[in-house]
Amino acid sequence: MPLFGSTFSPKKTPPRKAASLSNLHLLDRSTREIELGLEYGTPTMNLTGQSLKFENGQWVAESGSFTGDRREMQRLRRRNQQLEEENNLLRLKVDILLDMLSETTAESHLMEKELEELRSHSRRRK
């Protein structure tokens, strides 16, 4: 038997109202654009005086905005390509050096083994 009255029983929540009273969600996209004026166009942005627009999933420079920087971009692309080629050459050299090191190490271990065998053989003769 509870001390201060009846057992705990929460009040029932009132029924929810409809989410939206508007019927615009029933219209197709083109009708909504006509009704609400939702013609946005392509997204654009301006970064440090350079205008970019979003087309086909990528940001593309608008015509005429990168004219002064095209040479710089081409120079950077050439420099990037040179660095990639140099990096590939250095990786090749490292691979060759590692191969040479492993070969030399293997030869050294064989020579040490032969030397130990000769020493043990000469001790047996004595």
Task: Give 21's pLDDT tier (boundaries 50, 70, 90).
Answer: low
pTM value is: 0.43
Chain mean position to CA 49: 28
At 108, give phi and psi (nearest 5°).
-65, -45
Look at the alpha carbons of 97, 98, 100, 105 in this order and tell me if their dihedral is positive or negative. positive
**Rounded mean pLDDT of 29-58?**
77
**Residue-wise pLDDT tens digits, 106-126:** 999 999 999 999 999 888 876
- pLDDT at residue 16 in the model: 74
- Give per-residue pLDDT as tens, 27-43: 777 777 777 766 667 78
Give the residues across from 58 on adjacent strands. 55
Tell me which amino acid residue 30 is: S
> What pLDDT score does 82 carry?
97
Write the single-letter amino acid at 11.
K
Q: How far apart are CA 79 and CA 84, in angstroms?
A: 9
Judged against a pLDDT cut of 70, whether residue 97 lies above it is answered with yes
71 pLDDT above the threshold of 70: yes
Q: For residue 22, name the pLDDT band (cuts at 50, 70, 90).
A: low
- Whether residue 66 has pLDDT greater than 60: no
